[in-house]
Structure 1
Amino acid sequence: MKNVKTLLAAGVAAASMTMVAAPASAELSASASVASMYLWRGFDLSDGSPAVSGDITYSAGGFYTGIWGSSGDDTYGQEVDYYAGFATEVGPVSVDISVWNYTYTGQGPGWDPDETGVTSDAGDTWGDLSEIIIGLGVGPVSLTIYDNVAGAPGYFYYTLGYDVGSFSFMLGGADSDDEDSNYAHFDVSYAYNDNLSFTFSQMIDEDNDDDLKFVVSYSLPIL
């Protein structure tokens, strides 16, 4: 998933999600990215394999809509996300509200709830998973809330971020109806330039003591 999923690109994603600036006029943008793994909310969905992704977004007057696609995770195949939202600023506060729908081409039985907290049916169908995402930012601090609204038993995912210079720090965590699926992780990212970035991600939950993950990602604007 894009980490609002490469971030999110996600990123953005992963990811993976970044607030979209509200332009004064209509604008079409696109980018392509490659990463050493598909890091999504603290999990390596590509099982250590590289992931390729791309997006195209149309925005006008603060409203935006677009498509994000990825080579996918190791189990459920290619992923295509559809999104639409509105971004603006109210005084010193930036606000971004969007709806995302995630679809997959794999035919597996669904995500493993012990790993992600989601048990959506796999397959290239609308509604595999949908979220409403609310992002708030004040200066270097940001808070993002992901609310599952379709395709899963119900969960929230939260991120709290802080940017300083070329570094960004993010604490993320899931609050699921299945308490055994709740977890938290901490990410540190460094942007070498506008294209190249490095991320370290570590689970801080006692039930998810995975090894430290290291991701190198490169993105290139097309439009």
Structure 2
Amino acid sequence: MKTMKTLIAASVAAASMTMIAAPASAELSASASVASMYLWRGFDLSNGAPAVSGDLTYSTGGFYAGIWGSSGDDSAGQEVDYYAGFATEVGGVSIDLSVWNYVYPGSSAGFVDNGDTYLDLSEVILGLGFGGVSFTIYDNVAGASSYNYYTLGYGVGSLSFTLGGTDSDNEDSNYSHFDVSYAYNDSLSFTFSQMIDEDNDDDLKFVVSYSLPISM
């Protein structure tokens, strides 16, 4: 946890120095997507059913905030996410620090973690990238039991590879997965996802997703 706080503090300091020289330009963007399943960190949350989602983001001078909504998962129903963050680049390293709140307005079940139920979930997310390599830390700050989720990714051309895993206070809930994605174009993509741990669903998952920007 101490390492996480130190890394975030260093990132914010570097981002602040860059922000002073960066001209502010406001932009409002939106998109809509449909996928053959709701794949979330290696899990099929929609139980094989298609999922529809959309987002609206306002950004200016590196800062951004927005809302993302989905038809939801099979147990908690509709999902609405609120987020705000700051993204910049320092010495060729991309830095993205944000806070996300996941809400399930249509369900009293909310987010379920290891048998416990929470009405919502919040994370602080720090993403770093250099060249084709990326590393992201998701730190649970509210809701659910304490955990960190990590991803290590590499992209080359239209292909991307992602290794994800959790580090939780409850060791029984730890798992890892590996994803391979291919972007046919800016809208159409295909993803294969495989759980690595024997204790979790070991079926190979295949997802087709299609996304379109919405003119604002």
TM-score (norm 2): 0.86
Question: Does the 8 Å contact 1:100/1:133 carry over to 2?
Answer: yes
Q: Give the partner amino acid of 1:88.
A: T
Aligned to 2:182: 190
Provide closer, same or farther for how the CA distance between residues 95 and 49 of structure 1 changes in structure 2, counting only shifts above 3 A: same
CA distance in 2, matches of 1:195, 1:135: 23
Q: How many residues align?
A: 193
Which of 181, 195, 209 matches 1:217? 209
Residue correspondence of structure 1 range 83-102 to structure 2 within 5 A: 83-102=83-102
Q: How big is each residue's C-alpha offset from its partner over 1:77-111, in whole Å with a ceiling of 9 and x where there is no partner?
A: 10000000000000110000000001002122741
Aligned to 1:121: 118
Taking every aligned residue pair, what percent have the same amino acid on both sides? 79
Q: Give the partner amino acid of 2:109.
A: G
CA distance in 2, matches of 1:193, 1:107: 39
1:180 aligns with 2:183: no
Question: Does the 8 Å contact 2:97/2:124 carry over to 1?
Answer: yes
1:219: how far off?
0.2
* Higher-helix-fraction structure: 2
CA distance in 1, matches of 2:39, 2:188: 16
1:210: how far off?
2.0
Q: How big is each residue's C-alpha offset from its partner over 1:146-201, in whole Å with a ceiling of 9 and x where there is no partner?
A: 00000111100000000011000000001111000000000000000000000000
SS in 2 for 1:111: strand
Question: Does the 8 Å contact 1:120/1:129 carry over to 2?
Answer: no
Following TM superposition, where does structure 1 have runs of at least 4 consecutive aligned residues deviating by more than 6 angstroms? none
CA distance in 2, matches of 1:24, 1:110: 37
Q: Radius of gyration: which is bigger?
A: 2
Which of 176, 180, 199 matches 1:207? 199
Aligned to 2:8: none
SS in 2 for 1:170: strand
SS in 2 for 1:81: strand
Residue correspondence of structure 1 range 76-87 to structure 2 within 5 A: 76-87=76-87
